[in-house]
Each structure stands twice: as C-alpha cells, then as structure tokens.
Amino acid sequence: MATKAKKEVKELWAVGRRKTSIARVRLSAGDGTITVNEKPANQYFGHEAYQLTIQQPFKVTETIGKFNVAASLTGGGTAAQADALQHGISRALVLSNADLRKALKTVGLLTRDSREKERRKVGCRKARKRPQYSKR
C-alpha cells in the first residue's frame, strides 16, 4: 500500500464578525505582515490600541512573525473592525493548528461578541431615552 504524503495548506480563510463589521481573513505562512484592505495595518488603523487588539491572537498562541495576514473589512466603525479582524485571525489560527484552540478559547478570542445596536422605538429619542415627564 502506498502512503500519500499530507498536502501542506498554502492559505487558510476565516471570517470574523463584530457588530456590523465583517472581516474576511486570509492567513498564510510568512514574516508577520498584516494588510487590511490593501493597506498596512498600522496605516489603516492608525491608533496603537487597535494594532494591539489585532496582535493579541498571535501573542496568546506565541506565533508572532510566523503568519502573513491579508484581510478585507467592511461595515461598522474602526473599533468594531479591529475586533472583527481579531476574531477572524483567531479562527484562522485554529484552522492552521487545532492545538491552539484551548489557548484562544480561555482568553475568549473565539467567542463572537453578539451585542448589536438596539433599535430606536417610537416615542423615544433613542433606543430607551424618553422625553421628560411633565406633571402639569
């Protein structure tokens, strides 16, 4: 019986979501460059806090500088996009190596944050803010 060599996967695709943001993430072996919508991540996000958010899955799994990330982000604001990208990277890392799942799960990076904006109700100024009550 001939044994077939396991074919190495070149790219891994995953989707991350947060609020109305969707991140389509492509993970490949490389030197650790992150491009978002065809721009470097530090140029796209600007603020350092968002860049730390994106790097967190790599720090938890100790894979900094081992993967290149190419992501396409749509919808939402900057913070939600950073969180969606973090979620997508985490899911792609689990596809690359199932042993990383426990480390990512304990930190909470694999859980999709399902909180959405509450809709505005009739007679209210915002979702719950009501006009001031006047007795007379």
Domains identified in the chain and CATH numbers = 11-107 (3.30.230.10)
| Residue 48, pLDDT score | 93
| Residue 100, pLDDT score | 94
Greatest alpha-carbon span in the chain: 92
2: left (phi over 0), alpha (psi -120 to 50) or beta: beta
Ranges of the chain with pLDDT below 50: 6
Distance CA 70, CA 131 (A): 47
Q: DSSP labels for 51-62?
A: HHHHHHHHHHHT
Distance CA 20, CA 41 (A): 20
Predicted confidence (pLDDT) per residue in 53-74, tens digit: 999 999 999 999 999 999 999 9
